[in-house]
Chain A
Amino acid sequence: MGRIRLENITKNFGGLQVLKGINLEIEEGELVVFVGPSGCGKSTLLRQISGLDKPSSGAILINDRDVTEVSAADRGLAMVFQSYALYPHMTVKLNLAFGLQNAKMPKAEIETRIADAARMLEITPLLSRRPGQLSGGQRQRVAIGRAIVRDPTAFLLDEPLSNLDAELRVSMRAELGALHARLGATMIYVTHDQVEAMTLADRIVVLRGGQIEQVAAPIDLFERPANRFVAGFIGAPSMNFLTPEEAASLNGTPPAGAALIGVRPQHLEPADSGLTLTVTLVEALGTETVIHGEIAGGKRLLLTLPGHRPVQVGGQLTVNADPARLHFFDAQDQRIG
């Protein structure tokens, strides 16, 4: 099993610095999710760990061994690619066997491993087919199977679910979670989908512009975002941000130095006193109702209420929040309290 440590990793492409000094420790058996907007460097970071790319500076340690200069093949990691990257001219069985053959493993052992992995992923009937004859979900399983048979130190998954349709994505997500629990292997998972991040991760690494913004367990990230970016990025719909003047009518008093007050749409509810907003749009989703509105001064505000609420567009609504649910940020966008 694998413990991975990143020490001050930087990566430059020409004059552009894509990774700006990443320090991270990943524990054995942990499922860590790299999340962030596109271009934040999360896939680049994964490639540095995999060995397919070399960092411009810094060190990568796997189980306390410095592998910065070690080739991808010899790091003992397995990767699942976004496009699956199955070898189209080989059968599923050969796809699974290829890595093991290259490692000069005895034939009998290869057979057992493939049989075990195929049973675990329920792809045994597909072993003699080629990738072109498989559906998206089946290809996904084969790609994961190819990683599993290698029995790697750690799994690297690069947006593995992004090519699947919504329904399949939900079920594969659950399967991946179950697989992690079963294998107990270290996994690094890259995604831009925060639902995947929240549901799968032991810890989430939020990246922006080649830097780590926050590393925390999913709920901590939601409850106590370290800065304005994380607060806005995690949670859907995203957090409302108000100036102290705009938030004056809300319950509670901002601490000294608070330049920005954040409140999640889920934490606003109708009240007798508080912020008054003019409803501009109502999205009834059945399980919840998303209400878009404008407060005095023209700032837009979002709130979600459970169930179906008969709210009229153009009508007035007064909302307020539990003071404990408010987030305060200073002038540098950092969290206060």
Chain B
Amino acid sequence: MNPIRFLFRRKGGKGWHWTDLVTWVWLGTGLLIMFGPALWLVLSSFKSPTQLAEFPPTILPYVSQTAEVGINGEVKELPLYTAVTEDGQVRTLAEVRRIGTVAQMVDPDAPDTVYKVNINDRRPVRQVGFEIENYLKPLQAFNFGLYLRNSVFVTTVATLITLLTNSMAAFALSKYEFRGRNGVMLLIVATLMIPLSVNLVPLYSVVSKLGLLNSLWGVILPTVATPTGVFLLRQYMLTIPDELIEAARMDKASEWQIYWRIVLPLTAPALAVLAIFSVVWRWNDFLWPLIVLSRKELFTLQVGLNTFAGELNVQWHFILAMTVATMIPVVVVFVFLQRFITAGIAGTGLK
């Protein structure tokens, strides 16, 4: 379909109905609010530090033009400006040096004549360009490869353990009748109301006593039991007919076999949803790994990013670039599995 016609589709009739306009403005604003910051982040990650500090900021990343100019027999690379000279003419000049508010400039083609230009009368010549260094340098000079490995390890292992333990809890809570079943479920769901910051300190002392500080397991283990996961899987398992489990029981299946060979395969769609959630949570986790890990070689990506923000100097260009890099896996997960995510959100009312 023609994209223009698609964007301007109306509900019917001859002209624009007011609801068409409201819809268009509403969705347009939504798009801007949702994607504006992401777009800003991606474009800014290609800017040089000076450009990031510039005011007013530009949307697109620019690279200043330079020219090679021979002065006194020496060839120098000098920045180019569009300047208005004293005679009122507009010229493209290279800046040799700057004294106070006055810049000494020369024409690259005729470097012998020196123009004195007020700095307010010149504008840098530049064009859209991408500062790839922002990406290459952290990946080469800093330990980002290592951080990436730690993050992948934490995310994968934590997700696998989450799926296993949560599905076992959900199986028990959905398919066995026992006294206090609803109470246990309520207790688990109630923990949703306790934010991490409340039990940060007790959790820290537990992890510390277990000797898991400065270990990736210290990051993984406290996060694997999620009330959301148990709830999501339980709700799904409730829809598996009991007759299937009874049939398996008649077929001499042990309780473990019922779980492993009947219930787990049938819960696959809900497991996929939880896996996506878990990957996103663990990948983006910052506070907990920051507390547990203090040795640099154990940092995850998110904690590693934090090292660019020093006490005196914040290296925004690296932070922005690496933020984009760490976002990529999550974006990929979303693009390919968004069908499951919407199903999961619809199924639990959580996000």
Contacts and interface: CB of A to CB of B under 8 A. Distances in A.
Contacts of B241: 83, 85
A85 B266 contact: no
A103 interface: yes
- Chain A CB within 10 Å, residue with most, of B252, B253, B262, B265: B252
B249 A85 contact: no
Given A50-B250, A77-B250, A102-B257, A85 B265 contact: no
B247 A85 contact: yes
B252 A81 contact: no
B262 A87 contact: yes
Contacts of A146: 247, 251
- Chain A CB within 10 Å, residue with most, of B246, B253, B265: B246
- Chain A CB within 10 Å, residue with most, of B250, B252, B262: B250
Contacts of A73: 249-253
B163 to A, nearest CB: 17
Given A89-B265, A89-B266, A102 B253 contact: yes
B248 interface: yes
A99 B246 contact: no
A102 B251 contact: yes
A291 B303 CA distance: 87
B313 interface: no
Contact of A87 (B244, B249, B254): B244
A222 interface: no
Interface string A85-118: 1111100000000110011000000000000000
Contacts of B261: 98
B252 A103 contact: yes
A337 B134 CA distance: 104
A71 B262 CA distance: 19
A35 to B, nearest CB: 21
Q: Is the interface of B mostly helix, strand, loop or mixed?
A: helix
Contacts of A83: 241, 243
A185 to B, nearest CB: 15
Interface size bucket, B side?
10 to 19
B254 A85 contact: no
- Chain A CB within 10 Å, residue with most, of B241, B249, B251, B266: B251
B253 A85 contact: no
Contacts of A86: 247
B250 A79 contact: yes
Nearest to A77: B250
Interface residues of A, number: 23
A98 B253 contact: yes
A78 interface: yes
Contacts of B246: 52, 72, 79, 81, 85
A268 to B, nearest CB: 44
B251 A99 contact: yes
B251 A88 contact: no
A85 B243 contact: yes
A71 B258 CA distance: 15
Nearest to A83: B243
B249 to A, nearest CB: 5
A79 B243 CA distance: 11
A72 B266 contact: no
Contacts of A81: 243, 246-247
Contacts of A102: 251-254, 257
A52 to B, nearest CB: 5
A98 B254 CA distance: 12
A90 to B, nearest CB: 8
A98 B266 CA distance: 16
Contacts of A77: 250
A81 B249 CA distance: 13
- Chain B CB within 10 Å, residue with most, of A78, A102, A150: A102
8 residue pairs, one from A and one from B, having the closest CB atoms:
A99-B251, A85-B247, A102-B252, A85-B243, A73-B252, A89-B265, A81-B243, A79-B250
14 contacts: A52-B249, A52-B250, A73-B251, A73-B253, A78-B250, A85-B241, A85-B246, A86-B247, A87-B247, A89-B265, A89-B266, A98-B253, A99-B251, A99-B253
Given A72-B250, A87-B244, 20 more contacts: A50-B250, A52-B246, A72-B249, A73-B253, A74-B252, A77-B250, A79-B246, A79-B250, A85-B241, A85-B246, A85-B247, A86-B247, A89-B266, A98-B248, A98-B253, A99-B253, A102-B251, A102-B252, A102-B254, A150-B251
